């Protein structure tokens, strides 16, 4: 799956978790499409992720920063499909709250 390869290649996991697997520097992403209200909307999920990726680093003082990844549209679509897919897995209540 393209999105999973990009996830691994760009080491998103060095900062993020998916269902608790990974590092705890940045938000859990297994439920990010729900958090963004786009879990049933692949095009919306792509646009939200694309906007997010292009607005990093935020430069907001006191906030943890995410680096800029210059992904192609295809790569970003792959990632948003991947995030939709992980969000659709029944994680039996994980993460324990919406904020991840």
Give me the residues that bind ligand HEC (CB under 6 A), please. 10-12, 14-16, 25-27, 29, 32, 35, 49, 52, 58, 63-67, 69, 79
Query: Cβ of residue 97: shortest distance to ligand HEC, in angstroms?
Result: 12
Nearest approach, Cβ of 92 to ligand HEC (angstroms)? Answer: 21
Nearer Cβ to ligand HEC, position 58 or 88?
58
By beta-carbon proximity to ligand HEC, the closer residue of 65 and 88 is: 65
**SS3 letters across the chain:** CHHHHHHHHCCHHHCCEECCEECCCCCCCCCHHHHCCCCCCHHHHHHHHHHHHHCCCCCCCCCCCCCCCCCCHHHHHHHHHHHHHHHHCCCCCCCCCCCC
The least distance separating ligand HEC from the CB of residue 19, rounded to whole angstroms, comes to 15
């Amino acid at each position: 799956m393209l999105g999973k390869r990009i996830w691994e290649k760009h080491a998103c996991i060095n900062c993020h978790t998916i269902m608790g697997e990974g590092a705890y520097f940045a938000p859990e992403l297994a439920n990010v499409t729900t958090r963004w209200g786009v879990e049933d909307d692949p095009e919306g999920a792509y646009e939200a992720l694309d906007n997010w990726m292009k607005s990093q680093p935020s430069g907001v003082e006191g906030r943890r920063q995410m680096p800029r990844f210059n992904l192609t549209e295809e790569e970003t679509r792959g990632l948003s499909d991947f995030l939709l897919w992980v969000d659709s897995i029944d994680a039996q209540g994980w993460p324990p709250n919406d904020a991840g």
